[in-house]
A and B are shown apart, each in its own frame.
Chain A
Amino acid sequence: MSRHRIVRTMDYNDEYDGYDDVYGHSVEDEHCISPTDAQQWLYDRARGQQSISAFLSKNKNIEEEDPDEEDEDASFEKARRDSESFQMPQLDEIEQAKLSSCVDEVRSVVGDAVSERRIVETSMKFDYDMQKILDEILNEETKKKPTKKTPSTPVLPVSAAKSSSKSAPTPPPKINLKEPRRGFEIASPKVPSSPVVSGRNTPVDGDDISRTPASLFKVSKEQAQRNARQLYEKERSDQKSHIHMIVIGHVDAGKSTLMGHLLFDTGNVSQRVMHKHEQESKKLGKQSFMYAWVLDETGEERARGITMDVGQSRIETTSKIVTLLDAPGHKDFIPNMISGATQADVALLVVDATRGEFESGFELGGQTREHAILVRSLGVNQLGVVINKLDTVGWSQERFTEIVAKLKSFLKQAGFKESDVTFTPCSGLTGENLTKKAQESALTSWYNGPHLLDVIDNFKIPERAIDRPLRMSVSDIYKGTGSGFCISGRVETGVLCLNDRVLVGASREQAQVKSITMDEFPHTSVFAGDQVSVTLAGVDINNVTVGCIICDPQTPIPVTLRFQARIIVFNVKVPITMGFPVLLHHQSLIEPAVVCKLAALIHKSTGEVVKKKPRVLGNNSCALVELETTRPICIERYADFKELGRIMLRVAGVTIAAGMVTKIR
């Protein structure tokens, strides 16, 4: 069986869990010892300059160390190792005799606490002057003691402390101290500077890390030490940047048709497929839907002629790879639209320019309004507005400016910056001003701005939080090809690599990433902002639900039933009181929740508390509330993870409030 394991990536901490309990192993078996390490326990006359009794006592010293004392400080360890690997300098006979007598002398005073090397070095430094040697060594020992109890202090500061402490009486020794030491090791012929020795004399970083895991879940060393930013530069610097764009708007504004046509014009849909769609839609008497069928694939969607779930596909522009998310416009499918919008960086708002249609979408309860507010509260701040179907009003400039004026004031209210909103006239069905400059004379007479593809290309790429711990929200679960099952979703923050261990959902089950695909191509690592599908092993498909969060085992996401949020109440028919049942939307998660406490009413702009414990929250108020769910959910504070700290409250098909999480209990 062991042959099948990938030994290279194996997590030894994990593998050896419970190893101690295995019956029949002797103690020695637990640690392998290199020959040089072993040497210290073997008395070798050829090497030994010390007496056998010194050797024995020294060895006793080593054995006495508490094997459980894992966090012994580095300086002490170094001292021990110094004596392990120490070889006597090559000296002539008289010197040798002087030295050994001196060492014996010192030993009788200081005992075994000081390493052989230390004594020899000091003796040589002070030219076998007993008094000075003892002073030096004992001083050093007392200085060292206080620092001894600070674990994981790297070696360097200690030696710096050493030098500063004794710098007053003997400034030069520090340099002297170093030079002979280095000389010994190189000069000593019997030690073929084995990797163990030289490696161990440097600060032992690798060991320290494996010893520190205070976290509950173990991960491989690789995963723990990964430098996300570097990896990102390595993998992605030569590629076009990714961006996710959601297409929103009122039902029948022409979102799917616009996107279908765009895909066709950019060559992402073959002529043959398009022809098929044309024929089939003609058969149903819905020829105008032929482009929409590119994205509306289920039979139900085609038969009814509306999008029901978010459709996904991608196009490449000159500087970007754009994932298009085609949201449904129908009121009943807003939950789907929200789950799509949580994955988006930018949004395209499609508006029907036909007389009466724009108005119906824009009035209270229309989706133009609700969608725009929703994406804004979900953190999308760049918006491209497409004034669609302008051909039905004869490319009238008046109509265009009228709609633009209305939308501008509304979008400003909703919180979009004017500089981040663009307006583009076009026609999704005829394809005017989509990928090529406008041809229609009625349009070109007054419009010479960019076409739609340019607008998309001009979106700015938002900052990706690659350095943060991994968080990925699951938006879909399905059986993949081959074994296991796939989840798809967006990596919100951090990096996900092949064979990483991750925690799934509120139950915090451990799973391992078996494969990662993005846009149907396998990848070894994906980064924040990517839309990926991941095959997981080690977790049951029934324990993963849409909306759960996958996170890094070292910094797991908080799991809670109750949290406090700061919400902004939209236009509501029924005011919010205590005990108000709502649907909580968080990423792709939809969970029933109850507003269990109205903590305070807050001033909208200043953030001051206007009233404590209000009875009721009316229209357009801003408040601190506490929400309680029936099942534990994964959620983050807005201050920690913007992406995961946003929530949305809906009741009876209407969005009543948006907010951010301020406190988790």
Chain B
Amino acid sequence: MKLLGKYVDKGMQGNVTLMPEESEDMWHAYNLISEGDSVRSTTIRKVQNETATGSSTSNRVRTTLTIAVESIDFDTQACVLRLKGRNIEENQYVKMGAYHTLDLELNRKFELRKPEWDTIALERIEMACDPTHSADVAAVVMQEGLAHVCLITASMTLVRSKIEVSIPRKRKGSVQQHEKGLAKFYEQVMQSILRHVNFDVVKCVLIASPGFVRDQFYDYMFQQAVKMDYKLLLDNKSKFMLVHASSGFKHSLKEVLQDPAVVSKMSDTKAAGEVKALEVFYMMLQCEPAKAFYGKKHVLRASESQAIETLLISDNLFRCQDVNLRKEYVNLVESVRDAGGEVKIFSSMHISGEQLAQLTGIAAILRFPMPELEDSDDDEDEDGAAGGGDSDSD
């Protein structure tokens, strides 16, 4: 993302001009824009004209529109951001108050105006515009009959394809079926790697599996590559890395990112950092339960006593529609920072972020034990802890 202009006054009002450069920037934009903001961008609109004789013609014109955002759509697979809202600026083609849906496009600037910019939003811009991007990584987690081909970028984990093949078990006297099924499965995984992994961008391809599946697959892939002359694979052979994982399901990516070999190679990616932070939280919960809490109510109470050392918070909490609720979370983050604590904002698109979102979206490691928090949670009003994932109680 490129920051082209920023005018934010002391009252935290103002506008920012940004230019998304890659698909991940759309994710940042999605996290930046909230309902009620106004966005100005160039777009294409179908305009109908009526001539003097009464016949009407319609043609598509490119024009610049400013809309007050009413709803935001983000397609995670295609990384497309769609903003719907009313036109709020006089325009040659479009009436005031007419609805329009803006598709934010790559390499076209847009101007975002917010009634109030908070620190989280400003930080997000900073983060998005940070040019020292860490490596993009492709990962294939697999087990016999199941594989996920994922792309891990700084703030997103995208499952590019999921391959599910039922492989016959070994049985007395017919091993061929098993081996044939396996070969077919490997072929599909390889094709999917060829299709979905862009080796110009990806610095490293992790192949993770339990047992020997990864070795078998690796051998198979390069045998085939030599046989069929897949230059792409042969040239990038050094980028492949074999790692252990306990299964082929998506959440075993977490184990992959914890693997020491992987950590050293892709040291500072956000994904690995988040996994580690969550791990620390769980370790604390195991060893000293009075120093680790989750759920809004507990965390807020801990924050009041300035006890929070590390705050883990999922970014989907900041995307909520309720302005006051968002403000509450922003204040929490600021107060933790003021008290000298560390705040980690998890991307809900990562594996660990997903888990945190399930865990009410907010968790904290404390400086000192607060057992009184644990005792106070007896009864019904534990909405923070209980209301996160499930809306349907009995």
Residue positions of A touching B, CB distance < 8 A = 297-301, 304, 308-313, 330, 332-333, 335, 475-479, 488, 541, 544-546, 572-575, 577-581, 583, 590, 592, 594, 596-597, 612-613, 615-616, 618, 626, 650-654
Contact = CB atoms under 8 A, between A and B. Distances in A.
B282 A313 contact: no
Contact of B171 (A299, A476, A652): A476
Contacts of A616: 285, 289
Among the interface residues A544, A581, A626, which one has the most CB atoms of the partner chain B within 10 A? Answer: A581
A573 B286 contact: yes
11 contacts: A297-B170, A299-B179, A308-B212, A313-B172, A478-B171, A577-B359, A578-B389, A579-B388, A613-B386, A652-B246, A653-B247
B357 interface: yes
Nearest to B169: A476
Interface in B341-394: 354-360, 374, 377-378, 382, 385-386, 388-390
A615 B377 contact: yes
Interface stretch (B20-28, B68-76, B250-258, B327-335): B250-258
Contact of A478 (B169, B255, B282, B360): B169
Nearest to A478: B168
Contacts of B378: 612
A573 B357 CA distance: 21
A574 B169 contact: no
A298 B389 contact: no
Contact of B389 (A333, A572, A597, A650): A597
Interface string B140-172: 000101000000000000000000101011111
A562 to B, nearest CB: 9
B237 to A, nearest CB: 22
Contacts of B143: 335
Say what secondary structure dominates the interface of chain A. mixed
Given A476-B168, A575-B286, A577-B359, A615 B374 contact: yes
Nearest to B393: A597
Contact of B294 (A488, A577, A618): A577
B175 interface: yes
Contacts of A612: 378
Contact of A590 (B247, B295, B355, B388): B247
Nearest to A573: B286
Given A298-B170, A312-B172, A476-B168, A577 B389 contact: no
Given A575-B286, A596-B390, A597-B386, 9 more contacts: A304-B212, A332-B246, A488-B171, A575-B289, A578-B388, A579-B389, A590-B247, A618-B286, A652-B246
B340 interface: no
Contacts of B170: 297-298, 301, 309, 311
A298 B173 CA distance: 10
B179 A332 contact: no
Interface in B269-327: 279, 282-283, 285-286, 289, 293-295
Contact of B289 (A300, A580, A590, A615): A615
Contacts of A575: 282, 285-286, 289
Given A332-B211, A333-B211, A592-B250, A613 B168 contact: no
B359 A312 contact: no
Contacts of A301: 170
B168 A479 contact: yes
Contact of B286 (A313, A478, A574, A626): A574
Contacts of A577: 282, 285, 294, 359
Nearest to A313: B172
Nearest to B361: A579
B168 A477 contact: yes
A578 B254 CA distance: 17
Closest 9 CB pairs of A and B: A579-B358, A653-B246, A478-B168, A332-B210, A579-B359, A332-B211, A476-B169, A581-B251, A574-B282
A488 B169 CA distance: 10
Given A309-B169, A575-B286, A615 B385 contact: yes
B119 interface: no
Contacts of B164: 545
A663 to B, nearest CB: 9
A466 B252 CA distance: 40
Nearest to B378: A612
Contact of B355 (A310, A541, A580): A580
Contacts of B211: 308, 330, 332-333
Contacts of B382: 613
Contacts of B210: 332-333, 335, 653
B69 to A, nearest CB: 30
Contacts of A298: 170, 175, 178-179
B371 to A, nearest CB: 12
Contacts of B145: 546
A54 B279 CA distance: 92
A479 B385 contact: no
A599 to B, nearest CB: 9
B357 A312 contact: no
Among the interface residues B143, B251, B356, B360, which one has the most CB atoms of the partner chain A within 10 A? Answer: B251
A573 B283 CA distance: 8
A295 to B, nearest CB: 9
A572 B169 CA distance: 31
Contacts of B286: 572-575, 618
A626 B246 CA distance: 23
Contacts of A652: 246, 252, 254-255
A596 B358 CA distance: 8
Given A332-B211, A578-B388, A579-B389, A300 B216 contact: yes
Contact of B359 (A313, A330, A332, A578): A578
Interface string B12-34: 00000000000000000000000
Contacts of A651: 246
Nearest to B143: A335
Contacts of B177: 478-479
A590 B210 CA distance: 14
Given A298-B178, A308-B211, A335-B247, A597 B390 contact: yes
Given A479-B168, A545-B166, A613-B385, A592 B249 contact: yes
A301 B250 CA distance: 27
A540 to B, nearest CB: 12
Contacts of A476: 168-169, 171
Contacts of A545: 164, 166
B175 to A, nearest CB: 5
A309 to B, nearest CB: 5
B385 A297 contact: no
Contacts of A654: 246
Nearest to B282: A574
Contacts of A304: 212
B281 to A, nearest CB: 9
A575 to B, nearest CB: 5
B355 A579 contact: yes
Given A330-B211, A574-B286, A579 B377 contact: no
Contacts of B385: 578, 613, 615
Interface in B198-220: 210-212, 216
Nearest to A564: B394
Contacts of A299: 175, 179
A651 B258 CA distance: 14
Contacts of A572: 286
Contacts of B169: 309-310, 475-476, 478, 488
